[in-house]
Structure 1
Amino acid sequence: MGLFSRRKSPESVARAQALAIDDFWHWWRTTGARETAEAIDDRAPERITDAVSKRVHAIDGALSWELAAGAEAADGGSRHVLVVTPEGDPALRAVARRWLLAAPEPDATWEYGDSRRATAPDGRLTLGVGGARIDVARATIAARVEGPVVDVTVHHPDFADLDEDVRRLAAFLMLDATIGETEVELWVREIGTTTVPPLDPVPLPGLRSVVRQLREQYTDADGGPTWVLLHGVRHDGTPLVASTQVPLKAVTAPHFDTHAGVVVPYTDQTPEGLPGPDGLAELRRFEDHLAGRLEGCGRLVAHETSGGTRLLHFYVDGTTPAVEQLEAAVVGWSQGRVRVQAEHDPGWSGVQHLRV
């Protein structure tokens, strides 16, 4: 390491990852898919482990991968599933999604994912965790719903014999197996464990119905996030109105890893500093104009309005010229100078204060 070594920029990391993703899929298309399927059919998956690990870790050493059984081709699915997962790390969600976006079309043999699927929705599974064998069917939960999220406390009779770290790991793995990794990230806020049975215990698979109800309430007909309106007051007493998508989570579009805050002044104001009718219509047209310029490389996820200024929260794909497209698109605004401030933010921390 040089005396004046410096950290790699997000741009240089993304370029290296893109090359490694291309290399992975070139290998997969030429020999990897066939060799991996043959190893599974021969009940010798260890034969392919090193080859897959080498190429996945070339993308990022912290990524994980696994093979799982898919639906039968006769049911419209594939025999096998290859999953590359960021293991819940926000910094890795984008590269895992870019790996998936570059994947071949699913066929009768293979399909692909960037998060663990619900492998045991009925709870019939035995986990090996920390040297213990845990029968998931014996787990129960206490669940508390608050708005669009649920807090879950997991109990298992064997937890009394396990360290807290092992209990927590087991709880996370149980939830992933029951509802899937993406659903956990979207809807579950807190995961706790207890050695004492809940007063009103619910079998672990009962969490599926809780999550289904949240999904039905907080996603639209196309499965996308809904929007809610929030009202508040700034520390100086100025009224503030915010609109935000729900759920406001990076997992809804993990490859949009760059926060682009667009600060828009407006002149048509009410006495409280909020937009008047004409100003509100102009702001909405301007938002649509900016979103259209992104051409699918980003989305507006929230905005805050107060004191003659609207802050638009866009998240965009940092490997594309999306930020430059926004900067070019704002110059036509006639009510003041619009500023665009961009920052690499794979965990969407820039809108954390707007989550409900």
Structure 2
Amino acid sequence: MGWFRRKRRVEATDGSDGARAEAPDPRTPWPEQHVPDDPHAAAAEFWRTWAELLPHLSAALGEGDTERAENLLVEPVAAVHPGLQFSVDRGGTAIYALVVSGREDPELRPYTDAWKAAAPPDDAIWEYHDSVPPVPDPAGVAVNFAGRRFELGEVRIVAQVDDSDGVVDVAVHHPLFDEVDDTVRRTMTFLPLDVTLGERLAAERLGRVETAVAPPSNTLTLVEFRDLVRRLAGEADPGGPESDASS
């Protein structure tokens, strides 16, 4: 399932503006979706349903059918709030991770907070996240997209920090950007940032985001960029592969 953060302006360094998403046809009626009044009651109901679904989820995942597993969760997640998105991913410490995200929408935050607060403890099989987490080592990630293989270890970032609020404006470059169209560039501009920072930190700390087609100077690797943003956010270095990159 695709993940989308709140919209930001994306500009190419050649001066062309990022394309705007087309608005839905106003003549098309939008189906009414129920929004629970009580986030905590909705969360409790989800976890009751989760316990009932676990054998079926385990069977689907044991057969390698992630799509079937996710289909089982579409209605339960929507019952918490129809604006939430989710995915079943590989876990960081557990085998699987269930990620339920409100894309840092403040109206959805009470529902993801209640969902996470009511979640069972992480165990060896499942871990639970209320926003998309960062990967441990983005330099080791490769994304096959639009017929190209984007090695995230080749991404370079130009970062400019606004000292007044700690927000970071960035330009993102990959060597393949001059071989793909604007749509692919936009996707591969934001995806490395989310993979590196995680959804919540990216939403809190990123300001203006640009696509750099030509190789820029004074760049950072993704790991070095994450170290910078985490320092700005006052987060302790968690160690691991990324902790050595900026030393």
String of CA shifts for 1:13-48, please: whole Å, max 9, x gaps: 34165554333211112x223432343233222231
Tell me if the contact between 2:138 and 2:195 (Cα under 8 Å) persists in the aligned partners: no
Work out which of the residue numbers 163, 167, 172 in structure 1 matches 2:190: 172
Query: How many residue pairs were aligned?
Result: 202
Match for residue 141 of structure 2?
Answer: 125
TM-score with structure 1 length normalisation?
A: 0.51
Match for residue 285 of structure 1?
Answer: none
Question: Could you tell me how far apart the structure 1 residues matched to 2:147 and 2:47 are?
Answer: 35
Match for residue 41 of structure 1?
Answer: 62
Question: Could you tell me how far apart the structure 2 residues matched to 1:37 and 1:64 are?
Answer: 21
Q: Of Structure 1 and Structure 2, which has the larger fraction of its residues in strand?
A: 1
Q: How do 1:310-321 and structure 2 match up within 5 A?
A: none
Question: Could you tell me how far apart the structure 1 residues matched to 2:214 and 2:152 are?
Answer: 16
Q: SS in structure 1 opposite 2:140? A: coil
Is it true that 1:141 corresponds to 2:157 in the alignment?
Answer: yes
Where in structure 2 are there 5+ consecutive unaligned residues? 1-31, 237-247
Match for residue 128 of structure 2?
Answer: 112
Match for residue 49 of structure 2?
Answer: 27
Change in 2 beyond 3 A, CA 1:158/1:64: same
Work out which of the residue numbers 71, 82, 106 in structure 2 matches 1:50: 71
Q: SS in structure 2 opposite 1:87? A: coil
Amino acid at match of 2:143: L
String of CA shifts for 1:37-64, please: whole Å, max 9, x gaps: 3432332222312111121123333321
Question: Could you tell me how far apart the structure 1 residues matched to 2:103 and 2:41 are?
Answer: 22
Tell me if the contact between 2:36 and 2:80 (Cα under 8 Å) persists in the aligned partners: no
Match for residue 195 of structure 1?
Answer: 213
Q: How do 1:1-356 and structure 2 match up within 5 A?
A: 13-15=35-37, 18-29=40-51, 31-72=52-93, 78-129=94-145, 132-147=148-163, 148-216=166-234
Greater radius of gyration (CA): 1
Amino acid at match of 1:117: P
String of CA shifts for 1:244-267, please: whole Å, max 9, x gaps: xxxxxxxxxxxxxxxxxxxxxxxx
TM-score with structure 2 length normalisation?
A: 0.71
Amino acid at match of 1:15: D
Question: Could you tell me how far apart the structure 1 residues matched to 2:126 and 2:158 are?
Answer: 37
Change in 2 beyond 3 A, CA 1:133/1:16: farther
Change in 2 beyond 3 A, CA 1:24/1:192: same
Tell me if the contact between 1:121 and 1:179 (Cα under 8 Å) persists in the aligned partners: no
Question: Could you tell me how far apart the structure 1 residues matched to 2:172 and 2:104 are?
Answer: 19
Question: Could you tell me how far apart the structure 2 residues matched to 1:175 and 1:96 are?
Answer: 22
Question: Could you tell me how far apart the structure 2 residues matched to 1:132 and 1:16 are?
Answer: 45
User: Once superposed, what is the RMSD of the aligned Cα atoms?
Assistant: 2.7
Question: Could you tell me how far apart the structure 1 residues matched to 2:110 and 2:215 are?
Answer: 38
Tell me if the contact between 2:95 and 2:124 (Cα under 8 Å) persists in the aligned partners: yes
Q: SS in structure 2 opposite 1:13? A: coil
Percent of pairs with identical residues:
31
Q: SS in structure 1 opposite 2:79? A: helix
Q: SS in structure 2 opposite 1:150? A: strand
Match for residue 75 of structure 1?
Answer: none
String of CA shifts for 1:156-195, please: whole Å, max 9, x gaps: 1222244434323322221111121122122222222110
